[in-house]
Structure 1
Amino acid sequence: MKSSALLASRPVRWCGDKLRGLALASLIANIGIIVTGAAVRLTASGLGCPTWPRCTDESYTTTPEMGINGAIEFGNRLLTFVLIAIAVLCFLGALARRRRSLIVLTVAIGLGIPGQGVIGGITVLTNLNPWVVGLHFILSVGLIAWAFALWRRVDQGDGEPITLVPAPIRQLALVNVAVSFAVIAAGVVVTGSGPHSGDHGAKRNGLDPDRLSQLHADLVFLLIGLTVALWFALRAVDAPPAAVKAAATLFWVEMAQGLIGFVQYFTHLPVALVAAHMLGSGLVWTATLAVLWSLRTRPVVPAPATPAPEEIPVSA
Structure 2
Amino acid sequence: MPGGLVALLDDVSVIARTAAASIDDVGVAASRAGTKAAGVVIDDAAVTPSYVTGLSPARELPIIWKITKGSLKNKLLILLPGALLLSEFLPAAIIFVLMLGGAYLSYEGAEKVLEKLGGAKHGETLEDPIADPVAFENRRVSGAIRTDLILSAEIMAITLNEVAVETLFTRGAVLALVGVVITVVVYGSVALIVKMDDVGLHMAGRDSLASRRIGRFLLAAMPKLLTALSVIGTIAMLWVGGGIILHGLDELGLGAPADWAHGVQHAVERATGALSGILGWATYAGLSALFGLALGALLATVLHKVFRFGEGH
After TM superposition, the score normalised by the length of structure 1 is 0.27
User: Taking CA–CA contacts closer than 8 Å with sequence separation of 6 or more, which of the two structures ends up with the larger relative contact order?
Assistant: 2
Q: Give 1 or 2: higher helix fraction.
A: 2
After TM superposition, the score normalised by the length of structure 2 is 0.27
